[in-house]
């Protein structure tokens, strides 16, 4: 069976400068065991997101569990608790005065070995008829700009804050979300003491957990500027908790320093509820940094959360009452909207599709179970490190049930994906890859324009 994951057209930078040879591959569904715990209680300072307390799966959930029910239910219950915790994230770090001195440790840095953000980019590209070709894009030889990546919540350490050990989940997420950017930039990614899956799934997590995490990100950013940047332009790349960290960094650090603001090529901030006033492209989460309106605009933000069904009333993403939302003091959430910038439409070219690029090996641990759930545990695979799946999707920024999201729809019989871990999260676990080909192409064009002007 050909690999199916959610892909797009073969256009863009990912289809240039690489040889191709015909071949055939077969899919091999795989999954991983789940280890997670959760209790669904609210933070004292957080806004309730309206998740019900659960002991057993609801009837709707039971319909989705064609594989072992216990780990899936645990993942969903962890997700419910995580929503309440994330609601307090930006509140906690926004009032935090600054970073304590902490030695920066890098997950990814040019010249480091190993470096999960740089490696083979050999890719199996599947056609809708099941045929495939092998493509061999290369890492940029002498990139002239940098990417600064902060990863989402992946740590399965059994403490509230992760330590700075590099675990398999961190390596895997850097490979999944950041490594393709090495086609065009040098990638820096700090290890940070993030709030773990255990903390997010536990009772009444302390908001200072996120202050400690942000301390590490801020210190890493300052270390990067001081020791490695040398005046180069920078693209910020984040997802989920990583987007929360980078949103705070952009608002409280970069926007306050003109020199840093001038170095910002763009910010790719996915699955983090960046908000703007209705009818405007700036003024909510960020005071000076607008949403991107074209694929070559610089100094702007690309942001979206992926759904394929109407978001429910208690959706974690797409709503101004959702997770990670930061509004000006006294602001009415009804006066704002969650940002959605469709990567396939930024240049307003007709016929553009989302170009999904994914790793061929399964993701380890809890998140691997969540990804498996989206595909009914019939995951795509290939004999190359990367693949462009058989399933192709269109994307459109829509407002449904009061939420603003990137809604994806199947093309030519592509499979319908299952929201994971619950309908409230939509396709959050797919945010970083659903349009990865488009995003790498956009970042390349933005950097070319930035470099011409600087």
| DSSP track, 190-218 | EE--PBPHHHHHSSS--THHHHHHHHHHH
- The confidence score (pLDDT) of residue 101 equals 46
d(CA 210, CA 396): 33
Element (H, E) at 411: strand 403-411
Is residue 78 pLDDT above 70, yes or no? no
Q: Are 9 and 357 in contact (CB under 8 A)?
A: no
- The confidence score (pLDDT) of residue 327 equals 83
Average pLDDT of the segment spanning 412-430: 94
- Report yes or no on 259 lying in a domain: yes
d(CA 448, CA 154): 33
- The confidence score (pLDDT) of residue 352 equals 78
d(CA 214, CA 198): 18
- The confidence score (pLDDT) of residue 351 equals 67
- Report yes or no on 139 lying in a domain: yes
Q: What is the largest CA-CA distance in the chain?
A: 59
Is residue 183 pLDDT above 80, yes or no? yes
- Report yes or no on 101 lying in a domain: yes
CA geometry: angle at 306 spanning 204 and 78, to 5°?
25
Mean pLDDT of the residues in the chain: 82
- The confidence score (pLDDT) of residue 77 equals 53
- The confidence score (pLDDT) of residue 13 equals 39
Lowest pLDDT segment from 18-32, 89-103, 230-244: 18-32
Residues 100-112: pLDDT tens digits? 446 899 999 999 9
- The confidence score (pLDDT) of residue 102 equals 63
Is residue 220 pLDDT above 90, yes or no? yes
Residue 149: partners with Cβ closer than 8 Å, 6 or more residues away: 108, 117, 174, 177, 178, 181, 187, 188, 189, 237, 238, 242
d(CA 379, CA 182): 25
CA geometry: angle at 72 spanning 71 and 78, to 5°?
90
- The confidence score (pLDDT) of residue 409 equals 95
Is residue 139 pLDDT above 50, yes or no? yes
Q: Report residue 12's pLDDT band, with 50, 70 and 90 as the boundaries.
A: very low
Q: At what angle do helices 365-374 and 69-87 cross, to 10 degrees?
A: 110
CA geometry: angle at 242 spanning 94 and 363, to 5°?
155
Domain span including residue 160: 13-453
Lowest pLDDT segment from 79-88, 215-224, 358-367, 432-441: 79-88
Average pLDDT of the segment spanning 243-250: 97
- The confidence score (pLDDT) of residue 349 equals 66
Lowest pLDDT segment from 57-61, 164-168, 280-284, 298-302: 57-61
Residues 293-319: pLDDT tens digits? 999 999 999 999 999 999 999 999 999
- The confidence score (pLDDT) of residue 58 equals 34
Residue 166: partners with Cβ closer than 8 Å, 6 or more residues away: 105, 107, 191
Phi, psi of 453 (to 5 degrees): -95, -10
Q: Report residue 141's pLDDT band, with 50, 70 and 90 as the boundaries.
A: very high
Phi, psi of 437 (to 5 degrees): -60, -45
Is residue 157 pLDDT above 90, yes or no? yes
Residue 212: partners with Cβ closer than 8 Å, 6 or more residues away: 161, 193
In the chain, how many domains are there?
1
CA geometry: angle at 450 spanning 261 and 247, to 5°?
35
- Report yes or no on 4 lying in a domain: no
Q: Burial level of 452, CB count in 10 A (0-12/13-18/19+)?
A: exposed
- The confidence score (pLDDT) of residue 32 equals 34
Is residue 256 pLDDT above 50, yes or no? yes
- The confidence score (pLDDT) of residue 59 equals 31
**DSSP state at residue 7:** B
- Report yes or no on 106 lying in a domain: yes
Average pLDDT of the segment spanning 415-431: 95
- Report yes or no on 3 lying in a domain: no
- Report yes or no on 6 lying in a domain: no
d(CA 289, CA 285): 9
Lowest pLDDT segment from 94-98, 220-224, 361-365: 94-98
- The confidence score (pLDDT) of residue 330 equals 85
Is residue 333 pLDDT above 50, yes or no? yes
- Report yes or no on 5 lying in a domain: no
Q: Which of 135, 175, 128 is CA-nearest to residue 4? A: 128
Q: Report residue 128's pLDDT band, with 50, 70 and 90 as the boundaries.
A: confident
Residues 257-278: pLDDT tens digits? 999 999 999 999 999 999 999 9
Q: Report residue 76's pLDDT band, with 50, 70 and 90 as the boundaries.
A: low
Is residue 387 pLDDT above 60, yes or no? yes
pTM given for the model = 0.81
């Amino acid at each position: 069976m050909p690999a199916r994951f959610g892909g797009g057209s073969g256009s863009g930078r990912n289809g240039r400068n690489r040889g191709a040879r015909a071949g055939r591959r077969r899919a091999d569904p795989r999954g991983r065991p789940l280890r997670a715990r959760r209790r669904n209680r609210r933070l004292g300072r957080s806004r309730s997101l309206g998740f019900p307390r659960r002991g057993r799966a609801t009837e709707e959930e039971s319909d989705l569990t064609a594989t072992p029910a216990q780990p899936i239910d645990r993942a969903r219950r962890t997700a419910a608790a995580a929503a309440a915790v994330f609601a307090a994230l930006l509140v906690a770090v926004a009032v935090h005065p600054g970073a304590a001195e902490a030695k920066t440790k890098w997950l990814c840095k040019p010249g480091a070995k190993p470096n999960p953000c740089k490696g083979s980019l050999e890719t199996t590209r599947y056609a809708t008829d099941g045929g495939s070709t092998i493509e061999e894009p290369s890492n940029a030889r002498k990139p002239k700009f940098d990417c600064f990546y902060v990863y989402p919540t992946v740590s399965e350490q059994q403490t509230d804050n992760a330590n700075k050990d590099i675990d398999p989940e961190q390596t895997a997420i850097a490979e999944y979300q950041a490594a393709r950017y090495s086609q065009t930039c040098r990638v820096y990614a700090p290890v940070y003491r993030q709030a773990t899956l255990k903390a997010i799934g536990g009772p009444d997590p302390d908001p200072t957990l996120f202050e400690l995490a942000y301390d590490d990100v801020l210190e890493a950013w300052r270390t990067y500027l001081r020791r490695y940047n040398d005046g180069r332009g920078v693209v910020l790349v984040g997802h989920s908790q990583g987007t929360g960290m980078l949103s705070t960094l952009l608002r409280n650090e970069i926007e306050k320093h003109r020199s840093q603001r001038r170095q910002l090529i763009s910010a790719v901030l996915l699955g983090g509820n960046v908000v703007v006033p209705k009818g405007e492209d700036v003024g909510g989460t960020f005071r000076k940094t607008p949403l991107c309106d074209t694929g070559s605009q610089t100094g702007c933000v690309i942001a979206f959360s992926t759904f394929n069904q109407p978001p429910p009333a208690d959706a974690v993403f797409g709503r101004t009452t959702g997770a990670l939302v930061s509004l000006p003091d006294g602001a009415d959430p009804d006066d704002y909207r969650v940002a959605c910038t469709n990567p396939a439409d930024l240049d307003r070219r007709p016929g553009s599709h989302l170009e999904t690029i994914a790793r061929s090996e399964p993701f380890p641990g809890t998140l691997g179970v969540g990804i498996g759930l989206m595909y009914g545990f019939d995951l795509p695979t290939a004999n190359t490190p990367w693949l462009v799946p058989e399933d192709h999707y269109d994307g459109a920024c829509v407002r449904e049930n009061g939420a603003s999201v990137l809604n994806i729809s199947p093309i030519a019989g592509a499979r319908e994906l299952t929201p994971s871990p619950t309908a409230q999260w939509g396709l959050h676990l797919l945010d970083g890859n659903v349009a990865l080909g488009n995003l790498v192409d956009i970042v390349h064009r933005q950097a070319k324009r930035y470099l011409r002007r600087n």
